[in-house]
Amino acid sequence: MSQSNVETVAGSMQYSDLAAQMLKYRWICYGMLLLTYIFVYFDRVAPAVIAPELMKEFGLTATSLGILSSMYFYPYAAMQIPSGILSDRFGPRISVTVFFIIAAIGTALFGLAYTFGWIIVGRFLMGVGVAVVWIPCMRILANWFRPKEFATLTGVMLTVGNAGAVLAAAPLAFLVGIVGWRASFYWLGAFMAIVAILNYIILRNKPSDKNLPTVSEIDGVDYYSVQTTQKVTFSENVKRLFGMKNYWLIAIYAFVIYGTVMGFQGLWCIPFLQQTYGLPKQEAANILMLWPIGMAVGCFAFGYISDRILKSRRNASFYGIIIYALTWVPLVFWPDKIPVGMFYPLLFIMGFFSGAYVPNYAHIAEGQPHSFIATANGMLNIWYFVGGALFQAVMGMVLDSYGKVGDKFPVSAYQASFIACIIALAIGAIAMFFTADSKVLQKKA
Ligand SMILES: NCCCC[C@H](N)C(=O)NCC(=O)O
């Protein structure tokens, strides 16, 4: 919408008033999605908090509890590409509303289910529904915000999500103590339904939906000029993305960085600390808590560093992964000689630098036609999940290849799995080194 069009539509309203209104309203849209995203993480971690209740009530083994919990992740991963297509085609407003209602139904069903089959259906619907929040947010960022704000706001979103997961543990346990786990979940579902409706009322796909100018028009800089002049079909866009060297290099990076996070923080850290250092489970869990806390801070920091300090997607991710790889050095060289007290700062620092992946979303977005940004991000996001799943398995295979001594894996087995991780991170760093940096941040307002 040009300045004259905006003036025509808005009658006597001044252009500066419309610009001010736009610059305010975009924060309302973003804030709405931040609130929604808290529930994405809440649903993600909630079964851990009520694991004893679930095991008792449904007579679950550890394996069936694991299956139940993972029923969130499969549909979540499978929905990443559809989530991008829906966001680009129909817009975040309707996509988030409809799918968050599905998530609300799944959450309520989880609390109401009396058979294992139904609780699995509830968990599955949670995963399907909450999968359509993150990628629509990438669409909102591209439609309402400047490129130099993209990575910071991506990082804030992940910080809020991670902090939400940390906070969700104690408040949920408290709520469960008062009203029981079932009521906690169906009230949570009801609250999520309200959040879905609020998204419909508040969220707007793009400034022109409220007859407001875009940031490009306000700043007089065509931020997405290269990206909007390309009028190509969806399949041409997909073909182009898959033909881009940058896509595959960033995918390798996403795959290894998140793979090592899920492999260590997500699975093998606690057995390692228990078996190598003889720590009780509670102490190992206390140490592990430092990782998501570090990651929450790191996600914000890497977004900011990329947007404002280095003004580069490539450099922020590249230096970040190098330092992250270096944090693995003590584990690789002295896996059984680290003073236990040092694990607290070490895991915080590892978590912090593992947030180096945050600029990836802006990196991939800035090489795409504007109408394809969410789909491209969905196609990137899937690699984090593949990495997470594969690294857990590969680290397990490395450990199994050494075999157990008594009921423990020997320290050499853990050491070998850490060496595999550090080599993978070196490959990720090389991949990022060869990416072409985005030039969008060089455009001056
Ligand atoms: N186990 C969750 C995988 C998340 C992968 C990715 N790094 C990420 O944070 N994406 C944001 C999201 O909510 O999908």
* Mean pLDDT, rounded, for 97-116: 97
Tell me which of 381, 382, 386, 391 to substitute to probe ligand 1's pocket, judged by most ligand atoms within 8 Å of the beta carbon: 381
Tokens of 229: 């002049």
In the predicted model, is pLDDT for residue 6 greater than 60? Answer: no
pLDDT (0 to 100) of residue 167: 67
* Rounded distance between C-alpha atoms, residue 31 and residue 202, angstroms: 10
In the predicted model, is pLDDT for residue 424 greater than 90? Answer: yes
Find out whether 119 and 113 touch, Cβ atoms under 8 Å.
Answer: yes
ipTM of the complex: 0.94
Tell me which of 81, 384, 390, 392 to substitute to probe ligand 1's pocket, judged by most ligand atoms within 8 Å of the beta carbon: 384
pLDDT (0 to 100) of residue 49: 82
In the predicted model, is pLDDT for residue 443 greater than 80? Answer: no
Under DSSP, the state recorded for 221 is -
**Atom of ligand 1 at shortest range from CA of 357:** 7
* Rounded distance between C-alpha atoms, residue 48 and residue 358, angstroms: 26
Write out pLDDT tens, residues 286-311. Answer: 999 899 999 999 999 999 999 999 99
* Mean pLDDT, rounded, for 5-27: 78
Whole-number Å distance, alpha carbon 285 to ligand 1 midpoint, is 22
What does pTM read for this prediction? 0.90
Write out pLDDT tens, residues 190-221. Answer: 999 999 999 999 999 999 999 999 999 999 98
Q: Enumerate residues lining ligand 1, CB below 6 A.
A: 40, 134, 158, 258, 357, 381, 384-385, 388
- The pLDDT-based confidence of 321 (bands split at 50, 70, 90) is very high
Whole-number Å distance, alpha carbon 353 to ligand 1 midpoint, is 16
Q: Nearest Cα to 314, choosing from 362, 257, 381, 255? A: 362
Tell me which of 72, 134, 261, 302 to substitute to probe ligand 1's pocket, judged by most ligand atoms within 8 Å of the beta carbon: 134
Phi, then psi, of 238 in degrees rounded to 5 = -65, -45
Whole-number Å distance, alpha carbon 258 to ligand 1 midpoint, is 9
Domain 23-217+236-436, second-level architecture: Up-down Bundle (1.20)
Report the SS3 class of residue 438.
coil
In the predicted model, is pLDDT for residue 30 greater than 60? Answer: yes
Phi-psi region at 212: left, alpha or beta (left = phi > 0; alpha = psi -120 to 50): beta
Provide the mean pLDDT of the chain. 92
What residue type is 168 in one-letter code?
Answer: A
- The pLDDT-based confidence of 444 (bands split at 50, 70, 90) is low
Domain ranges of the chain: 23-217+236-436
Tokens of 222: 């065509």
pLDDT (0 to 100) of residue 36: 96
Between residues 263 and 62, the one the model is more confident about: 263
pLDDT over 70 percentage in the chain: 95
Whole-number Å distance, alpha carbon 338 to ligand 1 midpoint, is 30
Under DSSP, the state recorded for 61 is -
